Amino acid sequence: MFCLDKSGVSRVTGVPSKYWGQGFSPRGEKSRFVLPADFRNTVRAASDDQRILCLDKHHKLPCLVGFGLSRAESFADQILHEERVALERGEPFDPDERAAQLYGFLRTTFDESGRFVLPDHLAEQAQVGEALYFHGGGSNFTIWSPDVLFAMGPGWDSAKATCRALMAEGQGRGGRGKRK
């Protein structure tokens, strides 16, 4: 993937990535969370070897979504596809609204250990308390408040069980959580 930087020079922006796996992080010192190792290297590779994590509110689910910078390069095609599907179904579609949803993500940095600060406005939208559960989802991963995840329907039973197991594992280690 190539784009022009501020000087007009073409550069690689990161590789398309797939996210799988799970992780759990309690809120740590300075109100930071830890991006699990299952996702950390993939996000970095997708962000041109920079430690940049893209975050936004999921457009359908009551959680956040995370990904690397390269995912933004697929947004224009995604909008066109969603518009075609809506037209075929006779449903309304506003490409400007969808573009605002997709391109309105926040970029934040994380350190070598994966620690990052979750901005308050995103934490509030996802009802984040003292912990986060991370769940792989292909081109992105979802980030849940455990309480919100536990209220989801039976389609999320496997994720709920994994979250509970990771929480219990963290409590067994003095509450530090699974910091992969």
pLDDT tens string 52-85: 999 999 989 999 999 998 888 888 999 999 999 9
What's the pLDDT band for 89 if we cut at 50, 70, 90? very high
Show the CA angle centred on residue 98, arms to residues 16 and 123, nearest 5°.
75
> What is the rounded distance in angstroms from the CA atom of residue 24 to the CA atom of residue 176?
10
> What is the rounded distance in angstroms from the CA atom of residue 147 to the CA atom of residue 56?
19
pTM value is: 0.81
Instruction: For residue 26, give the nearest of 162, 171, 172 by alpha carbon.
Output: 171
pLDDT (mean) for 95-100: 93
Predicted pLDDT at 7: 41
Considering the domain delimited by 15-172, tell me its CATH architecture. Answer: 3-Layer(aba) Sandwich (3.40)
Q: Is 155 buried (19+), middle (13-18) or exposed (0-12) by CB count in 10 A?
A: exposed
Predicted pLDDT at 16: 64
Listed in sequence order, the residues at least 6 apart from 129 whose beta carbon sits closer than 8 Å to its beta carbon are 27, 145, 146, 147
> What is the rounded distance in angstroms from the CA atom of residue 67 to the CA atom of residue 19?
8
Q: What are φ and ψ of residue 71, in 5° steps?
A: -60, -30
Listed in sequence order, the residues at least 6 apart from 166 whose beta carbon sits closer than 8 Å to its beta carbon are 22, 23, 24, 133, 177, 178
What's the pLDDT band for 125 if we cut at 50, 70, 90? very high
Q: What is the mean pLDDT of the chain?
A: 87
| Number of CB atoms found within 10 A of residue 25's CB | 26
Listed in sequence order, the residues at least 6 apart from 100 whose beta carbon sits closer than 8 Å to its beta carbon are none
Write the single-letter amino acid at 92: P
